[in-house]
Chains A and B, each alone.
Chain A
Amino acid sequence: MAAEDVYRQEFPVKGGDFAKAGTVACRIKELLKDLGLDVKTVRRAAIAAYEAEMNVIMYAWQGRMDLAVSPQEVRITVDDQGPGIADIELAMTEGYSTATPELRELGFGAGMGLPNIKRNSDVFHVDSQTGQGTRLEIIIRTNGYKP
């Protein structure tokens, strides 16, 4: 795929910045709408991006979300410096969460984050090093593109 056919943008995300929660996901959503992607793809990407952004805000120190959009797919790569995930398989279980009681009191940490991203993407990879950070790779294939 030619480089000029890919739209790239990167968004920094700061750990603990709850006041800005959701702003990156929202900007990604607006962008995808401008690019004319179909409603379903935009919604799936918005949900996946929101969950990924919240994971960085809730657990990591800092992170970055890279968006790459081509007519065929939306790719969101999330890199964070943070505690990492000790047992990825366990973290992918619905309802499993390491959120603190304080976070839970705020309504976060229901243990639906990673499974929800998986549900809303076509390809999902999690890579993590305990004590260093986590990398998520999310791919959502568009279905509204007719060349």
Chain B
Amino acid sequence: MKEKNFHSIHITKDKCIGCVHCLTACPTRAIRVRDGKAQIIDELCIDCGECLRVCPYDAVHSHTTSFAALDAFEYKVAIPSTVLYGQFGAANLPTEILSALRRGGFNEVYDLSSICELNCAAVEEYLNEHPRPRPFITATCPVVVRLIQGRYPALCGQILPIEPPREIAAKILRTILPKALNLAPEKIGIIHITPCPAKMVSINSPATLNKSYLDGAISIRDIYPQILNALRKSQEDALMRHLFPETQFSGIGMGWSLSGGETRGLKNHRAVAVSGIQDTMRVLDQVEAGLLQDIDLLECTVCPDGCVGGPLEVENRFLAKSRILQLVAAAGERAVVDPKDVSRLYHKNFLSFDHPVSPVESRPLDRDPAKAIRKAKRREKIFAGLPRKDCGVCGAPDCWTLADDVVRGLAHVDDCPFVKKEKR
């Protein structure tokens, strides 16, 4: 199921009061208020969730997989983001959290830290084999991929073509489980547990795969109460823990969800980690201007501090980060993946994109450059007549965007309350 322009982020009209919080927070200026309600411009939205963070009225909704949708599968598997380990305080070990998640309605649950380590080793191998271009950009954050497709099309070829851990893990399970369980592949549901609305987008309309290996993504927010309940039955859980073989957590993969975590395991390459949407855009601007060529790998995550700052987590990100750092320290440099396995999978292209990232259609003022030039001049003129207060009352996030909308035929100068006043 590959949908064009699928979005996870939606506005719940009944709750929206048409204020300006989301307008100004949107990094791609994709939101307008029309008829007193916020609307998202499809082609501009990258599902970063910044609007969801700032809405005071809970009117921004992210569409993730519901529990009811799991009933479609006979055998249900969860592969949670390692962010989950930071959500329940220091008293709960990752093994206990995984066990609690399993009892929340899954037949099996798999840890992703080892696959994170595998991804890092594959990335290292790719960098060894490809001395140019520089820097490569990691493909883990689906919002960064969207951002590059839309705003930095020249950088599409610099996205490092190794699938992120969640897809690699799902692909491995998809290959092994049907045979191991003697079940038809479509009866097995592989679900990611995520702090991020954009994972749903990368599952429904993947940018680098013909079809995602995941069947859905449940938000940490939604599943948190069930895990908490299961954890509360702590005595039983302590017994349960002995029934399952101890998971081998990877020290290299454990910190993956923190900014810099993806590249921490690199041995021979210089990496730089950037987090937060504004800083990511600033650095991508520099890369597009030809800078940072002395860097081998650029890790960009649009959430502050990395995935641990995802909008759909429950624990505040500072506590979650502190807890994950504890786990990283406890696991040390422990490697659980055999380098020979990585090399074998890598050379079989098992870990690669199905196809390279391609730019999405840009949005020039006009398809005809001569007309676009005329419109750009008109835009300057209109902008010069606006108050530059960026108040948002007209429905656009700022005066420049209003001027832009006017020349595109999407708004009227009179939408500005200040312009009107002067005319009267």
Contacts and interface: CB of A to CB of B under 8 A. Distances in A.
Interface of A: 4-7, 9, 22, 25-26, 29, 31, 33-37, 39-40, 42-43, 46-47, 49-51, 69-71, 116, 142, 145
Contacts of B372: 34-36
Contacts of B367: 36
10 contacts: A5-B370, A22-B289, A36-B372, A37-B369, A39-B154, A40-B154, A46-B154, A50-B289, A69-B373, A71-B370
Interface string B50-69: 00000000000000000000
Q: Binding site of A, secondary structure by majority: helix, strand, loop or mixed?
A: helix
B152 to A, nearest CB: 9
B365 to A, nearest CB: 5
A7 B370 CA distance: 9
A5 B362 CA distance: 21
B376 interface: yes
Contacts of B368: 36
B290 A50 contact: yes
A22 B369 CA distance: 25
Interface string B181-219: 000000000000000000000000000000000000000
Contacts of B362: 33, 36
B290 A116 contact: yes
A33 B367 CA distance: 11
A31 B376 contact: yes
A6 B359 contact: no
Interface string B365-390: 11111101110110010000000000
The 9 closest A-B pairs by CB, nearest first: A36-B364, A50-B289, A71-B369, A43-B154, A47-B290, A7-B373, A35-B372, A36-B372, A39-B153
Contact of A35 (B154, B285, B291, B365): B365
Contact of B285 (A22, A37, A51, A69): A22
A37 to B, nearest CB: 7
Contacts of B289: 22, 25-26, 29, 46-47, 49-50
Nearest to B156: A39
A36 B369 contact: yes
B288 A35 contact: no
A106 to B, nearest CB: 13
Nearest to B155: A43
A23 to B, nearest CB: 9
A25 B370 CA distance: 22
A77 B372 CA distance: 22
A60 to B, nearest CB: 19
Interface string B86-100: 000000000000000
A71 B365 CA distance: 13
A34 B369 contact: no
Interface residues of B, number: 24
B107 interface: no
Contacts of A70: 373
A43 B289 CA distance: 7
B364 A35 contact: yes
Given A36-B365, A43-B154, A6 B288 contact: no
A97 to B, nearest CB: 16
B288 A22 contact: no
Q: Which of B289, B362, B374, B404 has the most CB of A within 10 A?
A: B289
A46 B288 contact: yes
A29 B369 contact: no
B154 A34 contact: no
B286 interface: yes
A110 B362 CA distance: 34
Contact of A43 (B288, B373, B376): B288
A66 B154 CA distance: 24
Contacts of A46: 154, 288-290
Contacts of A25: 289
Given A5-B373, A7-B373, A39-B153, A34 B290 contact: no
Contacts of A6: 373
Interface in B399-421: 404
Contacts of B286: 22
A22 B370 CA distance: 27
A34 B376 contact: yes
Nearest to A31: B376
Contacts of A33: 362, 364
A69 B373 CA distance: 8
A118 to B, nearest CB: 13
Contacts of A36: 362, 364-369, 372
Interface string B326-369: 00000000000000000000000000000000010010111111
Given A34-B365, A36-B366, A39-B359, A71 B290 contact: no
A46 B285 CA distance: 9
Contacts of A145: 369
Contacts of B404: 34
A49 to B, nearest CB: 8
Nearest to A21: B286
Contacts of B380: 9
